[in-house]
Structure 1
Amino acid sequence: MAPNLKPSALENAFVLKALTENVRLDNRSFSQMRNLDISFSSTEYGVVDVRLGRTRVIVRISAEVTQCRSDRPYDGLFLISTEISPMAAPTFEAGRKSEEELVISRIIEKSIRQSQALDTESLCILAGEKCWLVRADVHFLDHDGGLLDAGCMAVSAALLHYRRPEISIVGTGNKREVVVHPVTEKVPVPLSVLHVPVCVTFSFFNMKLADNDDEEMDTDAPDQTAVLVDASLQEELLRHGFMAVTANTNKEICQIYKAGQLVVEIETLLSCTEAAVAVAEKVTKLIKRRLKEDEATRNVDNIFEEARAENTRLVADEEAIREMDKE
């Protein structure tokens, strides 16, 4: 059995008493996130290391050519796989998904794949025959709260950073073949990312019942609810409920997930969605700034720009072939 990390009654009373005085243990305000650091691999596209406070997530994007689904002949495939090992926290077991990990996996799936952040039609190579299978492997290395937020940010950043190999189509009719060119031959091309989803988790605390056990509390006290952004692990273990909101810079809400029995006023929920949009804008700006810095270190003497010109005609030919397939 995995050990129980539930804080003691003394820790519970101390943390919640501090919240009644508008104080968090790390001196952050209720609406302040921890320091966010995003770094990309210098040797491989699509590998990102995200650190949210002491929480750490690494995501790797990969792609391969595969068969199209019979019911989606004009779409490629996009899969997201999550893994939380005991190295992240002793509450997780190797080879066995906990309920918390299943919730995290579902919300990331809804936030990114089901919100159509990645244009899967652009992954189609030959209609009804060949397409790209893009896979995002999410590895949680350290757990200090905010796994969901860090994982969603990492996948979004990795998709923007990834470059798939360039391809060419050889032959005509039923004898067409897809040739995948290595990076040494042709410059890889970016994925078609339509928007950048960013998940923000809000933790709810019923301040009236700070000294009561969860089993005994009366949850009908929405007017005394404290809302914390980006809770640490200790705060997550003590919260009475939470809500995960995924938003983007278009001020669109991609998904909302609320858990816990605590009653929260609608005004509070609406303010949370507005705060999520503001956080999404800040995080997206940081991701794009890091991407520019990474590209600047790779694109010495503009060699990528010169090489991309060689791919222009090939891209036009591929688009013409797709239009013929649709007809």
Structure 2
Amino acid sequence: MVKELELSTNEKELIISGLKEGIRLDGRGIDDFRSLKITLGPEYGRSEVKLGDTKVLAKVSCEVARPYPDRPNEGMLTLNTELSPMAFAGLEPGRPSEEEVLVSRILEKAIKINRAVDVEGLCIVANELAWSIHVDVHFLDNDGNIIDAACIAAISALSHFRRPDVTVIGEDVTIHPVDQRNPVPLSIHHTPICVTFAFFENGDLWVVDPSLKEEQIRRGDMIIAINNHKEICVLSKAGGLPLEMLTIIQCSKLAASKVDWVREKIQDAIANAAEVEKRKTLREIIIDD
């Protein structure tokens, strides 16, 4: 486990008393997200997400590999997470922490197991060749809620990524360099986004998008991943306080509205990245002329 500095009793009491009044240390309401900034590029599949002071970098890459024998018509999707001692001061090198294992499992469930990416579309030649997509998630700074930031970074990087185009004629397979033919975006079925809730005292107090200090005194948490079809892809609550069904329903409704807001941010980031790429292409054409 990553060891963080313990809060003093006065700090804990201040946070709880503020929550009872509907006020948080950073001035947010209990159902407010922190500011969210998504930066894509300069290369395809690179996403940097800043959620408050939590910063996550995701990078998507690809290679051609042989499909799994039990899934000859599908490509592969792999998600890797890496916690940095720069972001987690108490991290023990050489072994995965509980936080890293939890983030990996949630991302696997939300993106891979729920088949957010069309892996059948990654097949080049059945039983012979397929695209293997790798998503590497790096945590650069931690001020709480690394799961939501990681999910946003991974989804935005996958949405922005382009793989080389491929031509198959008979037994001949040609992979075209990106400077000779436009690269191809991934086929994405849906975009699951995680929303994390932290619960305090007996569960009557809760917040969305907890900060690091709020995480340190929480009594339990719940992670809900919802896609663009309003479907709940993941509902994770490992241990902690028992929750009333009404609370879970209330949180799921709030999560759905927050997911819409996050998805708009992702779409804006993709549009901005496309505009930058368009200007770059025009500038190169002018220089060549």
TM-score norm. by structure 2 comes to: 0.93
The structural deviation recorded for 1:259 is: 2.9
Tell me, what secondary structure is at the counterpart of 1:287? helix
For 2:220, the equivalent position in structure 1 comes to 241
Tell me, what secondary structure is at the counterpart of 2:39? strand
Deviates more, 1:18-27 or 1:140-149: 18-27
**Aligned pairs (5 A) from 1:233-312:** 233-300=212-279
Residues 2 and 88 of structure 2 are in contact (CA less than 8 Å); yes or no, is this contact kept in structure 1?
no
Residues 198 and 222 of structure 2 are in contact (CA less than 8 Å); yes or no, is this contact kept in structure 1?
yes
For 1:41, the equivalent position in structure 2 comes to 41
| Distance in 1 separating the partners of 2:229 and 2:58 | 24
| Distance in 1 separating the partners of 2:23 and 2:55 | 25
Residues 165 and 183 of structure 1 are in contact (CA less than 8 Å); yes or no, is this contact kept in structure 2?
yes
Matching residue within 163, 186, 197 for 1:202: 197
* Unpaired segments ≥5 residues, structure 2: 283-289
Task: Check if 1:105 corresponds to 2:107.
Answer: no
For 1:31, the equivalent position in structure 2 comes to 31
* Unpaired segments ≥5 residues, structure 1: 207-220, 304-327
C-alpha spacing 1:185/1:92, structure 2 compared with 1 (3 Å): same
The structural deviation recorded for 1:273 is: 0.9
Matched residues, number: 282
| Distance in 1 separating the partners of 2:210 and 2:48 | 20
Tell me, what secondary structure is at the counterpart of 1:299? helix
| Distance in 1 separating the partners of 2:212 and 2:61 | 31
| Distance in 2 separating the partners of 1:300 and 1:149 | 32
Aligned CA RMSD, in angstroms, stands at 1.6
TM-score norm. by structure 1 comes to: 0.83
Tell me, what secondary structure is at the counterpart of 2:100? helix
The amino acid across from 1:64 in the alignment is E
Task: Check if 1:69 corresponds to 2:64.
Answer: no
For 2:20, the equivalent position in structure 1 comes to 20
The structural deviation recorded for 1:302 is: 8.3
The structural deviation recorded for 1:3 is: 4.7
| Distance in 2 separating the partners of 1:79 and 1:286 | 25
Residues 85 and 94 of structure 1 are in contact (CA less than 8 Å); yes or no, is this contact kept in structure 2?
no
The structural deviation recorded for 1:292 is: 1.1
| Distance in 2 separating the partners of 1:258 and 1:189 | 37
Q: Percent identity?
A: 41
Higher fraction of helix: 1
For 2:211, the equivalent position in structure 1 comes to 232
Residues 75 and 119 of structure 2 are in contact (CA less than 8 Å); yes or no, is this contact kept in structure 1?
yes
1:166-224 deviations in whole A, cap 9, x for unaligned? 11225x3xxx2422211111110100011111000000112xxxxxxxxxxxxxx45xx
The amino acid across from 1:101 in the alignment is E
For 1:169, the equivalent position in structure 2 comes to 168
Residues 75 and 131 of structure 1 are in contact (CA less than 8 Å); yes or no, is this contact kept in structure 2?
yes
For 2:80, the equivalent position in structure 1 comes to 81
For 1:189, the equivalent position in structure 2 comes to 184
| Distance in 1 separating the partners of 2:78 and 2:213 | 32
| Distance in 2 separating the partners of 1:271 and 1:25 | 23
Residues 148 and 199 of structure 1 are in contact (CA less than 8 Å); yes or no, is this contact kept in structure 2?
yes
1:42-85 deviations in whole A, cap 9, x for unaligned? 2x100000000000000000011000111001110000000001
| Distance in 2 separating the partners of 1:53 and 1:200 | 15
The structural deviation recorded for 1:103 is: 0.7
